[in-house]
Amino acid sequence: MRIKSALAAVAVVALAAACGSGGGDTGDSSGGSGEPVKLDFLSLAWQKESVEANKAIVEEWNKANPEIQVTYVQGSWDNVNDQLVTSFEGGDAPDVFHDDSPALAGFASKGYLLDLKDKLPASLQNDIPQAAWDTVTFDDGSGDQGVFGVPFLQESQVIIANKKLLTEAGVRMPTPAEPWTWNEFADASKKLTKGDTYGVAWPMKSPVNKVLNLALNFDGTFFQTAGGKTTVKVGPEEKAVLQRIHDQLYKDKTADPAALGMGTADPLPGFFADKYAMLPVGVYLRQQVAEQAPDGFEWVTLPPLKGTTSNQGAVSQTLSVSADSEHQEQAIQFMSFFLNGKNQARLAKGDWLLPTSQEAASDPSITGQEDGWDVATASAKDLVVAPFLKVNGYDEWKSKVATPVLQEFFANKVTLDEAAKRLVEEGNEVLERYQR
């Protein structure tokens, strides 16, 4: 999921001032006092279109439900989890809050979140596929599995390509029904590499999630659990994507090594200048391409690649209810309205991401060909829960082990076998501390 700055300092004050209820649900829409129930909703929307959609949905709810009034609180991805921990421990957490699924496991184990299992309306439960619910299903701290959020937005990896260069190279245009295999992608990259143009740029400033999600194309999971113990695994399945990217960089020379240190959007100037023909990136980057492309520049969204499977790992943006909310029933009612199919389509369009709602995924506003929405939305069918989502200690493994090792490997400073050895040995030392 993207993490962007959005008025972080203001959000700290707003969250503390706006949130706080504590206790349990009275079950009375008016709270038993004749006054409207008041809920605080912490949103992490940051793009203009997304913020507008969030606020509009809250306003629509408030107009239709005078007995349950929701206050919109603007938060920031930069520091939301630190804010929430402080709020949970201080007893003044928002009733409903926006986050992403990796954060929920820790909150759930500490009892901060309401278990939504068997509490949501059937219409919402049935509209969202089980693979998405898996991203919010965690141990509740007592050994039982609970559902601690409603997943509503996800991200896939697609390829954004220069249409003119593809046409000139005479490569087959892939479709969601017939995507490129990784071999076809490598061949296309060779045909597109000529003169000052590279076939592809791999921005790998933050390589870990991208690599782990794409590794599922070859059934690579990077983690295995046996006897209740999780260890790092780097075998042929995990090495497949690593080797293929490395080959493009140093064997085929179809990928520009200078792009490795770039963030996701950094190659765009080169893309617009025909330096790079293709960019394997998150689906949300289509927004910046659409907004920044020079007049007359034609681009297309190509579907995710296929290895032995088309699977990609996914995490979800989520809404959850605080366990200490005084109005849990009303919070669930609001959340269910906020995330119905019609509204999920609006939220997905505002964030240029994929809705989990099957109703939303068929909405004409996000299924047309313009800006690659048809290809983007179709890619949701291949998303499965990212294996690392359930790994205790993953964040430390990612930051202290995997990121530096993968950066060295892609910079051609260590071999694949050396990288694999370090990922496993150093990684298991990290994970061991979390399993004692």
Q: Identify the pLDDT of residue 435.
A: 86
- Residues 206, 348, single domain; the answer is no
Q: Domain span at residue 83?
A: 34-154+315-377
Whether residues 309 and 334 fall in one domain: no
The answer to whether residues 265 and 319 belong to one domain is no
Q: What is the pLDDT of residues 323-348, one digit of tens each?
A: 999 999 999 999 999 999 999 999 99
120-129, 252-261, 389-398: segment of lowest average pLDDT: 389-398
pLDDT tops 50 at residue 22:
no
- Per-residue confidence at 25, pLDDT binned at 50, 70, 90? very low
Of 247, 267, 263, 261, which Cα lies nearest the Cα of 189?
247
Question: pLDDT value at position 23?
Answer: 40
Query: What distance in Å separates the CA atoms of residue 330 and residue 170, rounded to the nearest whole number?
Result: 57
Residues 108 and 214 in one domain: no
pLDDT for 8: 40
Q: Nearest 10 degrees: CA dihedral of 98, 103, 104, 108?
A: -130
User: How many other CB atoms are there within 10 angstroms of residue 177's CB atom?
Assistant: 7
Same structural domain, 225 and 264: yes
Domain assignment present for residue 382? The answer is no
Residue 273: pLDDT band (50, 70, 90) is very high
Q: Is residue 25 part of a domain?
A: no
For residue 384, tell me if it sits in a domain: no
Task: Give a yes or no: residue 106 inside a domain.
Answer: yes
84: left (phi over 0), alpha (psi -120 to 50) or beta: alpha
pLDDT on residue 12? 41
Q: Is the pLDDT of residue 2 over 80?
A: no
Average pLDDT score over residue span 257-269: 97
pLDDT of the residue at 133 = 96
Report the percent of the chain where pLDDT is more than 70: 92
Domain-located, residue 345:
yes
76/224 same-domain check = no
Of 330, 350, 377, at which residue does a domain stop?
377
Residue type, 377: T
CATH number, residue 260? 3.40.190.10
Q: What is the mean pLDDT of residues 272-287?
A: 97
Residue 386 lies in a domain: no
pLDDT in tens, 343-370: 999 999 999 999 999 999 999 999 999 9
Residue 29's pLDDT band (cuts 50, 70, 90): low
Mean pLDDT, the chain, whole residue set: 92
Asked if 100 and 196 sit in the same domain, the reply is no
- Domain match, 174 and 296 both: yes
pLDDT greater than 70 at residue 13: no
Same domain flag for 226 and 112:
no
The reported pLDDT for the residue numbered 250 is 98
Same domain, 163 and 268: yes
Q: Are 53 and 349 in contact (CB under 8 A)?
A: yes
**139 beta partners:** 145
- Per-residue pLDDT tens over the stretch 74-86: 999 998 999 999 9
Confidence of residue 17 (pLDDT cuts 50, 70, 90): very low
In a shared domain, residues 289 and 355: no
Does some domain include residue 9?
no
Q: Do 320 and 309 sit in the same domain of this protein?
A: no
Chain segment 138-193, per-residue pLDDT in tens: 988 777 899 999 999 999 999 999 999 999 999 999 999 999 999 999 999 999 99
20 within a domain of the structure (yes/no): no
Could you write out the three-class secondary structure of the chain?
CCCCCCCHHHHHHHHHHHCCCCCCCCCCCCCCCCCCEEEEEEECCCCHHHHHHHHHHHHHHHHHCCCEEEEEEECCCCCHHHHHHHHHHHCCCCCEEEEEHHHHHHHHHCCCECCCCCCCCHHHHHHCCHHHHHHHEEECCCCCEEECCEEEEECCEEEEEEHHHHHHHCCCCCCCCCCCEHHHHHHHHHHHCECCEEEECCCCCCCHHHHHHHHHHHCCCCEEEECCEEEECCCHHHHHHHHHHHHHHHCCCCECHHHCCCCCCCCHHHHHCCCEEEEEEEHHHHHHHHHHCCCCCCEEEECCCECCCCCEEECEEEEEEECCCCCHHHHHHHHHHHCCHHHHHHHHHHHCCEECCHHHHCCHHHCCCHHHHHHHHHHHHHEEECHHHHCCCHHHHHHHHHHHHHHHHHCCCCCHHHHHHHHHHHHHHHHHHCCC
Which residue's structure tokens are 């809404």? 319
**Pick from 353, 377, 401: which residue ends a domain?**
377
In the block, tokens 């820790």 appear at 106
pLDDT for residue 143: 77
Residue 430 near residue 397, CB atoms below 8 Å: yes
Residue 4 has pLDDT above 70, yes or no: no
Question: How many domains are contained in the chain?
Answer: 2
- Residue ending a domain, among 377, 407, 423, is 377
